[in-house]
Amino acid sequence: MALSNSEIADIFNQMADMLEIKGENPFKVRAYRNAARTVQNLGKSLEDLVESGMDLTKLPGIGADLSDAIAEILKTRKFSKLEALKKELPPGLDKLLSIEGLGPKRIRQLYDTFGITSLEELAEAAKSGEIYSLKGFGPKLVEKILKGIQLAKKAGRRFRFDVAKPFAEELKNYLRSFEGVLKVEVAGSYRRRKETVGDLDILVVAKNWEAVTEWFVKYEKIKEVVSKGPTRSTVILRNDLQVDLRSVAKESYGSALHYFTGSKAHNIKIRKMAIEKGWKINEYGVFEKEKRLGGSTEKELYEMLGLHYIEPELREDRGEIEAALQGNLPRLVKLNDIRGDLHIHTKWTDGHATIEQMAEAAKKRGYDYIAVTDHSHHLTVAKGLDEKRLREQMELIDSINEELEGITVLKGIECDILEDGTMDLPDSVLKELDLVIGAVHYKFNFSKQEQTKRIVKALQNRYLNILAHPTGRIIGHRNAYELEMSEIFRVCKNEGVFMEINAQPERLDLNDIYIKAAKEDGIKFCISTDAHDQMSLDFMEYGVNQARRGWVEKEDLVNTKSVEELKKVLKR
């Protein structure tokens, strides 16, 4: 059976986790992390690339040893080094890595002292107070651990959108390839482009449902066939993602697609509107008593209720129905509206490509410009730039722009917002850049008042243009830090600072609710990938998804403008 890129990346991430817990060389750990990122972000199947004879060592972060490891994984479906490492360590320790505040050393400490190998045992030790006997385990850390356990349990078996996507799209193509299949669509939270999905609901219109079901259960990445029924079949994939395949009649397709797309709150409101007309709406159609009135398309369903078509990303009962009644729905931004990426890292800090390579990759994607925004020197783990190195990079960018055709490289920095709200580099160098991104990378545990005061002070620096990943969350691993968001919005608007929608799939920060609220307060945004290699530029799609869920239009974004217009709006 073929292995997906995400499955191979998962093996490398597991290897990095185990090595960290064991206390191995951090460079070895980082090598596996980088390899996982490279594999996850590949636009093509790694298995297909190997079969075509590609030299994998040409991929960023993949050396000869990792190339051999990939060959072994593809051949045996396992990685012998990982299997050996699992036998050396107690089972369950790797699960504790998802808890914020617990690094490998602390996990090892918990195991050596109390024999803790599970979230339940960790919670019990934290609640009983015995955990306080360990050095460094104070009240704040224990509170953070308990919140982390709650977050991990809440996450349940949900999958990040980018993890579910390859399976969803591959299954769609697999089903479409079967003769007699007329329509296939993935509904549910996946179609609404939510950050995470619990399972995949696939609707199919076909001439022969039984034959399609037999074809469906032969899909090579299935671990278990749960059921095969007259209208629904359920399977579990190898990564534990559940997939429900549902048979839909052609005349009911629109109603079924609407019903299974959701959200529940949106559907309830639509049904109430139908009831007021004396109708009934369900997954089978629109009915007046027993008479079918419609339901073959979603557009027809909405029009029958006097509504303009509502895009799936908006269907959360956050005012979209009222807007549709009034003809005021937003014209949502599209991926091809984006003209540049304003948050990119290179080999100057912790990126994996040169400035020229990132520029050429962006040009291939049709961009007019990129901004190189490597880290400032406070972030030592990323080899951040001090003033001297930043000026050297600025000179290089000037010379690169003289040679490049068809794309402009802007000079920028991702500058750390320090503990007291000052910037990590002096104004004397910041004012010479095309743009400055401000970011919080440490001291996440400040109180709401302290964190808000810190960021507000940074926003008042006249050279700051963009607030990066504004709430600091990592989906499923780290909660957003506490902020008075209305105050952040107010200052951003008054100071002319743009808010980033960070497209990294584990961040997607801002979330959709804050995006909509910020837009209503008149704030402008940029969607940025925070890319550390060429392939990560494709993360832009996930940022656009998030922006659409927040009602963002092309005019709300600064990186939909030409480079000349952008330079004008960046001047505060």
Pairwise CA distance, residues 330 & 324, whole Å: 9
> Which of 270-274, 308-312, 442-446, 461-465 comes out lowest in average pLDDT?
442-446
CA 498, 501, 502, 506 torsion-angle sign? positive
Q: Which tokens sit at 378?
A: 């406070």
Site of tokens 């949106």: 266
The third-level CATH classification (topology) of the domain covering 5-155 is: DNA polymerase; domain 1 (1.10.150)
Pairwise CA distance, residues 547 & 523, whole Å: 13
| Neighbour count for residue 402 (Cβ, 10 Å) | 7
Domain boundaries defined on the chain: 5-155, 159-248, 254-326, 335-570
- What confidence score (pLDDT) does residue 448 get? 92
Q: What are the pLDDT digits (tens) for 335-385? A: 999 999 999 999 999 898 999 999 999 999 999 999 999 999 998 877 899
Check if CATH label 3.40.50.10860 holds for domain 254-326.
Answer: no
> Which of 9-23, 263-277, 290-304, 420-434 comes out lowest in average pLDDT?
9-23
Predicted confidence band at 23 (pLDDT cuts at 50, 70, 90)? confident
Total residue length of the chain? 572
- What confidence score (pLDDT) does residue 361 get? 95
Q: Does the structure show a pLDDT above 80 at 156?
A: no
Q: Which residues pair with 526 in a beta bridge?
A: 500
- What confidence score (pLDDT) does residue 154 get? 54
Q: What are the pLDDT digits (tens) for 76-130? A: 888 999 999 888 887 777 778 777 677 777 888 888 888 888 888 888 888 888 8
Type of residue numbered 372: V
Predicted confidence band at 131 (pLDDT cuts at 50, 70, 90)? confident
Antiparallel, parallel or unpaired: β 285-288 and 466-467: unpaired
**Helix runs in 129-252, H state only:** 139-155, 161-176, 188-191, 209-216
Read off the pLDDT of each residue in 529-538 and give the average, rounded to a whole number.
93
Contact by Cβ (8 Å): 553, 527: no
Pairwise CA distance, residues 25 & 292, whole Å: 68
Contact by Cβ (8 Å): 466, 509: no
Q: What are the pLDDT digits (tens) for 42-83? A: 767 788 888 888 888 888 888 899 999 998 998 888 899 999
Pairwise CA distance, residues 567 & 572, whole Å: 10
Predicted confidence band at 153 (pLDDT cuts at 50, 70, 90)? low
Higher-confidence residue of 466 and 119: namely: 466
The third-level CATH classification (topology) of the domain covering 159-248 is: Beta Polymerase; domain 2 (3.30.460)
Q: Does the structure show a pLDDT above 80 at 4?
A: no
Task: Tell which residue, 430, 425, 415, has the closest CA to residue 468.
Answer: 415
Residues sharing a CB contact under 8 Å with residue 557, sequence separation 6 or more, in sequence order: 333, 337, 338, 524, 525, 526, 527, 547
Q: What are the pLDDT digits (tens) for 384-403? A: 999 999 999 999 999 999 99
Burial degree of 201 (CB within 10 A; 0-12, 13-18, 19+):
buried
As a whole number, the mean pLDDT across the chain is 91
- What confidence score (pLDDT) does residue 2 get? 60
CATH label, 335-570, candidates 3.20.20.140, 3.30.160.270, 3.40.190.150, 3.30.390.10 = 3.20.20.140
Predicted confidence band at 151 (pLDDT cuts at 50, 70, 90)? low
- Crossing angle of helices 161-176 and 209-216, in 10° steps, is 130
